[in-house]
């Protein structure tokens, strides 16, 4: 692996916690992700199913994990199935886990080849009534391509129609929201690598560059430092492109006098960082750019201080919007009259600040957790206020990754954000 792995003890704990939440007399099954076809005979780079990784630490396709806690044979209570390799497969595609390596990474004692799965599954299913099946339950994500877990669920309902199926995702979601120390360390490493990339870019950016050249500098530094690359499609948005929230074509020229909004994050050990910084292409903020930047920075600092146990994303965002409202009045973008006449469905600030203040972060960049979940110590949130003024060609967003605590912990504390420091670093 190009990254430092987590000790198997964490995965052993995670599986024990899951088993304790299962109904008596039940079975749970988790699949690895597919190798996704690209074109011709090519596949996209493999990325493990986050739930499988959380429970095993295994970073390989064609793995299946089963839990049957009440099976009379102890060896059948927890099984990991992995692909059986041969010399020809290794020659063409490289090393795959041996059984001993699976045991060393995951702490699972009973390892079988996947060609034993069907007969083992039948033995397990005939001893119980309830089976937990996993599925991606991120509410905003709908894919036209069914993933491996979804296809497996359909097959299970067909093959075992009189069994009761339960959702595994709510159990794993509850577990994954609060990060363990080992996970915080991986996220911190991803943030540190992101810091390295940003500092590299500060020395590189100048008028005349194309946005994808800036993206390439981040990519170079991320991979050089042991990251898998970007945790998500990077946004490198100059000038008016910064007002397009999910702009990622990254092919326009960075012009003198423009701002450059960069929403990027390294992935390390399957854990994501998520950073946004906005800098002047020519190394010097104009007075108006600086005025708007300072307003966003004040909101960032105020919002960060609120990330404490006991509130929710929904309530937090509501309080941040009140602060943003005052900043927009100070910038002359909205007026007190606009506020007095606004409706609940269309607040005045929404014209210039139209997205949430943050989201959960972890194995996925938009990690598990809802807007109504009460914050607990150890949860990690992004904090990303922004102001977008298309008529002025100004879009500024600033984003850090914060661990929820009585004194919130900024995991991106070392990444420059003060405008004077950014200008100084850009001067070289």
Catalytic (active-site) positions = 41, 246, 263, 274, 355, 359, 366, 384, 388, 397, 399
- Reported in sequence order, the residue ranges of 74-152 that DSSP labels E, i.e. its strands, are 78-82, 110-113, 130-133
Q: In this structure, are residues 298 and 327 in contact, taking their beta carbons and an 8 Å threshold? A: yes
Tokens of 394: 């100004």
Q: What is the DSSP string of 179-204?
A: PPHHHHHHHHHHHHHHHHHHHHHHTT
DSSP for 103-148, written as a single string: HHHH--SEEEEGGGHHHHHHHHHTT-SEEEE-----TT---SS--H
Who's near 40: CB < 8 A, 6+ residues apart? none
Residue 257 half-sphere exposure, CB side, CA atoms within 13 Å? 3
The two three-digit tokens of residue 65, written as one number? 């994990």
Q: What is the enclosing helix (H) or strand (E) of 272? A: strand 271-272
What are the Cα distances from residue 346, in Å, to 339, 351, 353? Answer: 10, 9, 12
Q: At what angle do helices 287-305 and 419-427 cross, to 10 degrees?
A: 120
């Amino acid at each position: 692996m190009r990254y430092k792995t987590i000790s198997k003890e964490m995965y052993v704990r995670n599986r024990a916690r899951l088993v304790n939440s299962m109904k008596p007399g039940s079975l749970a099954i988790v699949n690895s992700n597919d190798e996704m076809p690209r074109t011709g005979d090519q596949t996209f780079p493999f990325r493990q199913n986050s739930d499988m990784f959380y429970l095993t630490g295994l970073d390989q396709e064609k793995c299946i994990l089963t839990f049957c806690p009440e099976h009379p044979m102890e060896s059948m209570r927890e099984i990991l199935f992995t692909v059986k390799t041969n010399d020809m497969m290794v020659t063409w595609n490289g090393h795959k886990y041996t059984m001993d390596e699976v045991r060393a990474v995951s702490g699972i004692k009973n390892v079988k080849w996947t060609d034993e799965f069907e007969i083992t599954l039948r033995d397990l299913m005939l001893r119980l009534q309830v089976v937990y099946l996993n599925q991606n339950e991120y509410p905003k994500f709908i894919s036209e391509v069914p993933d491996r877990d979804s296809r497996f669920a359909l097959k299970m309902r067909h093959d075992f129609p009189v069994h009761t199926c339960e959702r595994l995702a709510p159990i794993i979601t509850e577990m994954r929201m609060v990060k363990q120390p080992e996970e915080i360390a991986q996220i911190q490493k991803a943030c540190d690598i992101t810091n390295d990339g940003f500092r590299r870019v500060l020395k590189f950016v100048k008028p005349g560059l194309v946005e994808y050249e800036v993206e390439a500098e981040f990519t170079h530094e991320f991979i050089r430092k042991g990251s898998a690359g970007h945790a998500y499609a990077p946004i490198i948005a100059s000038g008016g492109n910064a007002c397009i929230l999910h702009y990622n074509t990254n092919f326009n020229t960075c012009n003198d006098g423009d701002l450059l909004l960069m929403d990027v994050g390294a992935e390390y050990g399957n854990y994501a960082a998520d950073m946004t910084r906005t800098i002047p292409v020519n190394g010097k903020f104009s007075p108006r750019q600086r005025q708007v930047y300072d307003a966003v920075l004040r909101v960032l600092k105020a919002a960060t201080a609120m990330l404490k146990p006991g509130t929710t994303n929904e309530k937090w965002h509501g309080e941040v919007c009140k602060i943003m409202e005052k900043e927009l009045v100070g910038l002359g973008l909205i007026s007190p009259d606009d506020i007095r006449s606004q409706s609940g469905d269309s607040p005045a600030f929404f014209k210039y600040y139209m997205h949430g203040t943050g989201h959960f972060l972890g194995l996925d960049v938009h990690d598990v957790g809802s807007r109504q979940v009460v914050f607990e110590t150890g949860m990690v949130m992004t904090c990303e206020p922004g102001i977008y003024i298309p008529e002025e060609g100004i879009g500024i967003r600033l984003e850090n990754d914060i661990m929820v605590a009585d004194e919130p912990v900024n995991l991106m504390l070392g990444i420059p954000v003060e405008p004077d420091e950014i200008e100084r670093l850009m001067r070289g």
